[in-house]
């Protein structure tokens, strides 16, 4: 039903690397995508490490994986067996050919650490995000549902808003009570849920560990650890400030966003479009959602930041392009957006190309070199 944008990139990576790791949150569609890739490899082997029968096949992993050296082996939930990575390296070095292993992981520091340390030069890492506008062929009239429910396929495709909300509630519970403990992280689920809700209320704001720690009754290092857990499992994004030698006093703290708008709304109890439109978080929610839509389109090597100075110059998203001036995007939830003076100051500071993204149906020029753009045309930002 959906055409995942990353699929051609994943196919190319398998052609160019012995191992490819596809990372992303649980239930985001990694298994479905991997099975569609496997259709191009008629003798591919699929192992789900949550199934005891598949785990049993790896009782003697060297014997089993060595016996299928000429086939693509897909290993789902590979972070459950970090001990496999040194073996994969040895098998690849013994018989180096591209497209040997496709590793699916639900985000774990162990997965990335072990993979990068033991498979350096042998593995490519790709990330699968929740569904985005272009992947669902959304129009201006249909995008509110994607914004409200988020991009997890089961949430988006639910028969009603209430069923979607219930799915997300169960996802959050499962993530806290089941998924995080399987990564070896020992934090009480009730504590982490309360923290997650606090982060939801701080969506789009500067990270202040001391302030949150005080409200939560723990130390700043503990609250930072909680944030890192949610970031490592693809639930939260820390958007870093843009730091260059501009002779300006720049903000140093990151901004915090929940990566999926549907989970943000669930944590805040927002269960309908009407409830969202009347909620104080609506502007910040729109900002974070648009940022995720755009970041899913970024070419390799392009880096996202935000820009803010002590003097008030500010832009929501600044994209650093190697060898070219950056792109500055201001995101407004308004049919007639009017950027602040800080936006124009930020353009002057950074010499960036400027855009305004808003819920409008058509693009139009706002000033010389600055255009207002519908969210359905975000690709123009990267192509111009």
168 and 105 together in one domain: no
239 and 157 together in one domain: yes
Neighbours of 121 (CB within 10 A): 8
Q: What is the CATH number of the domain that holds 114?
A: 3.40.50.300
| pTM reported for the whole predicted model | 0.93
What interhelical angle do 189-201 and 161-174 show, nearest 10?
130
60 and 91 together in one domain: yes
Whether the per-residue pLDDT at 322 is higher than 70: the answer is yes
Confidence band of 110 (pLDDT split at 50, 70, 90): low
Confidence band of 250 (pLDDT split at 50, 70, 90): confident
Whether the per-residue pLDDT at 357 is higher than 80: the answer is yes
Higher pLDDT, 151 or 184: 151
**Structural domain includes residue 2:** no
69 and 137 together in one domain: no
DSSP string covering 330-354? EE--SSS----HHHHHHHHHHT-EE
Higher pLDDT, 115 or 17: 17
pLDDT digits (tens, 9 = 90+) for 280-306: 999 999 999 999 999 999 998 999 999
Q: What is the number of domains present in the chain?
A: 2
Q: Write down the pLDDT at residue 198.
A: 94
240 and 311 together in one domain: yes
Whether the per-residue pLDDT at 239 is higher than 60: the answer is yes
Dihedral, CA of residue 226, residue 231, residue 234 and residue 235, to nearest 10: 50
* Length of the chain as a residue count: 384
216 and 118 together in one domain: no
Confidence band of 148 (pLDDT split at 50, 70, 90): very high
Helices (H) and strands (E) in the chain, counts: 19, 14
Q: Which domain holds residue 352?
A: 133-383
């Amino acid at each position: 039903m959906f055409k995942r944008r990353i699929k051609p990139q994943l196919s190319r990576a398998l052609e160019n690397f012995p191992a490819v790791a596809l990372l992303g949150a649980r239930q985001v569609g990694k298994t479905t995508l991997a099975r569609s890739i496997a259709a191009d490899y008629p003798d591919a082997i699929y192992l789900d490490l949550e199934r005891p029968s598949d785990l049993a096949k790896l009782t003697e992993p060297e014997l089993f994986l060595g016996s299928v050296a000429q086939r693509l082996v897909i290993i789902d939930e590979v972070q459950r067996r970090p001990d496999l990575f040194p073996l994969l390296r040895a098998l690849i070095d013994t018989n180096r050919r591209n497209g040997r292993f496709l590793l699916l992981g639900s985000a774990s520091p162990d997965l990335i650490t072990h993979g990068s340390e033991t498979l350096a030069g042998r593995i490519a890492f790709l990330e699968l995000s929740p569904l985005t506008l272009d992947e669902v062929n959304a129009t201006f009239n249909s995008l509110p549902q994607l914004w409200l429910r988020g991009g997890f396929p089961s949430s988006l495709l639910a028969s009603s808003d209430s069923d979607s909300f219930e799915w997300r509630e169960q996802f959050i519970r499962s993530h806290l009570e089941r998924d995080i403990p399987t990564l070896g992280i020992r934090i009480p689920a009730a504590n982490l849920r309360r923290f997650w809700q606090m982060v939801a209320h701080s969506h789009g704001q500067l990270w202040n560990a001391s302030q949150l720690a005080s409200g939560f009754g723990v130390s700043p290092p503990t609250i930072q650890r909680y944030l890192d857990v949610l970031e490592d499992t693809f639930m939260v994004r820390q958007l870093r400030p843009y730091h260059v030698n501009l002779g300006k006093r720049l903000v140093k703290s990151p901004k915090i966003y929940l990566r999926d708008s549907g989970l943000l709304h669930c944590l805040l109890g927002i269960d309908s479009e009407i409830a969202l439109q009347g909620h104080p978080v609506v502007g910040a929610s729109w900002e974070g959602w648009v940022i995720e839509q755009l970041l899913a389109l970024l070419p390799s090597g392009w880096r996202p930041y935000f820009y803010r100075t002590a003097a008030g110059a500010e832009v929501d998203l600044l994209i650093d392009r190697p060898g070219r001036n950056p792109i500055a995007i201001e995101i407004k939830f308004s049919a007639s957006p009017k950027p602040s003076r800080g936006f124009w100051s930020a353009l002057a500071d950074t010499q960036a190309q400027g855009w305004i993204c808003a819920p409008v149906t058509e693009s139009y020029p706002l000033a010389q070199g600055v255009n207002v753009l519908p969210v359905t045309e975000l690709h123009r930002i990267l192509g111009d």
